Amino acid sequence: MIGDATKVSMLPSKSRSDSRNLIDGVASMPNEPTPAKWGEVMVSLADSLIKDVLRTSATEENIALAEKALSQVPAIDTSPLALIAQARICRAKGDHNGALNACNKALGCDSTLTEALIQKAFALVFLGKPKDAIVTAVDLGQRGADSDNLNWLFGRAYFSLATDPDTLPEAAAKYYDNAIYWLQKSVEQSPERWYVRAHLIGAYALAKRLEEPGAKAALIEYR
């Protein structure tokens, strides 16, 4: 018997073969757990897998595993958690319009869903609307949302603003300052996120500040 959804959330620390076996095992379990419970398990598994992917590296195999789990969830469009997992999968595949659509559907079910708002804000950044993302991030901060995701969200949004070719030099310098501040906080909180550190180094470099101690430390840690 498979445990409840909260136990499945521990799966990212297990091997990918374990995850695949769990998904494939549904065929040999016709009556237990119930379809509704199995749907909950698959949502948790898909969400855990794709969170792991977004924090480390988005390999095709890992994304496919998350998609396979989500495909076994009945009535995805009425499950906010499934829609959030779908949004993350779309983000990992570079389909930011798909992520935005999934988030809007989730928010249509419950407009207060913090995670849906976070995923929507990330989609907005990559769709060229970082200012809209920052407005959402400020609101999320006031709600007490997870600081780790917010640090990366703020940092990535300000990085986009700074590198926008239409941004004036004086404004770009300020945006780089903000990007460095938030990206540094994200790196300190989640040092395993190599891509955050890469953006931090990029911000220092583009701002012509590579001689600063923070930039040198980031370069050493990145290597």
The predicted structure's pLDDT at residue 51:
57
Distance between CA atoms of 118 and 96, rounded to whole angstroms?
A: 13
Rg (CA), the chain: 19
Chain region(s) in the chain for CATH 1.25.40:
1-116
Average pLDDT over residues 152-178: 96
Q: Which residues of 207-220 are buried (b: 16+ CB within 10 A; e: fewer)?
A: beeeeeebbeebee
- Residue 56 or 81, more confident: 81
The predicted structure's pLDDT at residue 132:
96
Is the confidence at residue 32, as pLDDT, over 50?
Answer: yes
CB 46 within 8 A of CB 102: no
Q: Which helix (H) or strand (E) holds 40?
A: helix 35-55
- Residue 50 or 216, more confident: 216
Residue with tokens 């992520």: 99
Average pLDDT over residues 152-163: 96
Nearest to 204 by CA among 191, 221, 189: 221
The predicted structure's pLDDT at residue 175:
97
Stretch among 61-65, 85-89, 132-136, 214-218 having the lowest mean pLDDT: 61-65
Overall residue count recorded for the chain in this entry: 223
The predicted structure's pLDDT at residue 143:
81
Distance between CA atoms of 10 and 194, rounded to whole angstroms?
A: 22
Average pLDDT over residues 135-146: 86
CATH 1.25.40 describes domain 1-116: yes
What own/partner pairs with CB < 8 Å and gap ≥ 24 does 1-7 have? 1/32, 1/33, 2/29, 2/33, 2/41, 4/37, 4/40, 4/41, 5/40, 5/41, 5/43, 5/44, 6/44
